[in-house]
Structure 1
Amino acid sequence: MATHHGFDLGPHRDLDALPLRERKKIQTGIRIFRTAVVLFAERGFDQVSVAEIAAAAEVSKMTVFNYFPTKEDLVMGPMEQHLDEPARAVRDRAPGTSAVVALREHFLAALERKDPATGLNDDRVVLDVIRLIHATPALAVRATAGFGQQAQTLLAAELCAQDPAHDELTARVAAAQLLAVRLTLIGGNHRRMLDGESADAALPAALDEARRAFASVEHGLGDYGAAHA
């Protein structure tokens, strides 16, 4: 899924290429995370204690907290490793590339590889995390208010830093619009996955919607929504 506290929670990383100590650390983190998600999915977030997770993962309670400082981090930590992705996409864009294009291409590429951060991923653990967030008020608040606001602040700061005029208002407005597009698209992909669509089957529609959504920011809404006489 993503990195958290120095380890990768996804299945794609080549662990065999890493030193033994780092490999064991990553494997322990993955085991704790996956154990927690399974227990939360079975019984609910509030009904499972950190002590129970530690016992099921065969580690100490202190070890769990070394990897995940709070119980909420057991679910939200991996997601929050993506907080600075929009800002990095802007920072790393090629000369002459607009912020809208940079973020659009970044999101489209992530969709193509079924990155869980796009919402387009039907892995069982990913779906369990999505369901948990939707079913647990504390996690839902952190996912929307906390996650969204932090990402927006980082993106606005990057946009302003790269603007010769350092226009803070325009940077904040642009960041809000761009992240609203991302969150809308991610939410739509979550609904597809929770409705039972496969990521492969949903990909064409997800790509089309992403292109249309970013185009609305790139070209502006104009007279959209104007009342007819």
Structure 2
Amino acid sequence: MNANRPGLRELKKRRTRTAISEAAIELFLDHGFNQVSVARVAEAAEVSKRTLFAYFPAKEDLVVHRLADHETELARVVRARPSGTDPLTAVRDNFLRGLRERDPFTGLNDHPQTLRLLRMILDAPQLVARMERFKAGAERALTEALRDTADAPELTARLAAVQIVAVHWALADDNARRLAHGESADARREGAAADAEHAFALLENGLRTIGSTGQGHRSTTR
């Protein structure tokens, strides 16, 4: 029985975290991010402000929590790529698959709740700024994945990660903004796929050797 207690505590923590986040999102969507106080969220979630801040150190984290799994998605794709597949191809194929499956990470998802969340983020400068930190986290995780799996030197891995994340981010942002302004995901899909193919082709010449031979410029930066 004692061996099970840590698992039960962790389960309770996850449930509390989810309950707080769901209460916050509901309030933010109904009233606006800037119009809802942390105290009001805590009251709706039936927790103290102290408990809320223990799970979410900043108000913006209540929203970004919904996207947390995506922060390291590109890194996971690179680490899990099939043998013989270079990192850029793996990321491109994952993005194109995401478009077909309407993955919110590609920006091509027009589910009403997703669109409401997107519009809320775009309308709140604090959330837009917080997403930039999210982007930086994605770059760090991808840098590590390229360094560890593609035998890329630190500087090479970091520069490649910045480029890949920037392209992925720009494509997803363009899709999301189009949908936020009324275009449907079905109408956008063909154009989104063409834009993705074009964007990754622009990267290909500079990054095609990353992970394909295990060789590259060796910087003294570590």
Asked if Structure 1 and Structure 2 have the same fold, meaning a TM-score greater than 0.5 normalized by the shorter chain, the answer is yes
Is 1:192 the counterpart of 2:178 in the alignment?
yes
Root-mean-square deviation (Å): 2.7
Question: 1:38-187 counterparts in 2 under 5 A?
Answer: 38-57=26-45, 59-61=46-48, 64-65=52-53, 68-144=56-132, 146-164=133-151, 166-187=152-173
- The match for 1:206 among 192, 203, 211 is 192
| CA deviation map 1:76-134 (0-9, x unaligned) | 11212211111111111111101110001111112221111211111222222212222
Structure 1 residues not aligned, in runs of 5+:
1-20, 222-229
Q: Report the Cα distance in structure 1 between the residues aligned to 2:162 and 2:22, rounded to whole angstroms.
A: 33
User: More relative contact order in 1 or in 2 (CA 8 Å, sep 6+)?
Assistant: 2
Query: What one-letter code is carried by the residue in structure 2 that aligns with 1:156?
Result: T
Q: Which runs of 4+ in 1 moved over 4 A?
A: 28-32, 62-67
Q: Report the Cα distance in structure 1 between the residues aligned to 2:193 and 2:93, rounded to whole angstroms.
A: 11
Q: Report the Cα distance in structure 1 between the residues aligned to 2:30 and 2:171, rounded to whole angstroms.
A: 28
Is the contact made by 1:34 and 1:125 (CA closer than 8 Å) also made in structure 2? no
Query: What one-letter code is carried by the residue in structure 2 that aligns with 1:70?
Result: A
Distance 1:162 1:215, change over 3 A: same
Q: Report the Cα distance in structure 1 between the residues aligned to 2:69 and 2:48, rounded to whole angstroms.
A: 23
Structure 2 residues not aligned, in runs of 5+:
1-9, 208-222
Kindly tell me the number of residue pairs found equivalent between the two proteins: 198
Distance 1:116 1:218, change over 3 A: same
TM-score (norm 2): 0.77
TM-score (norm 1): 0.75
SS at match of 2:110: coil
> Larger helix proportion, structure 1 or 2?
2
Q: Report the Cα distance in structure 2 between the residues aligned to 1:162 and 1:207, rounded to whole angstroms.
A: 27
State, as a whole percentage, how many aligned pairs show the same letter. 43
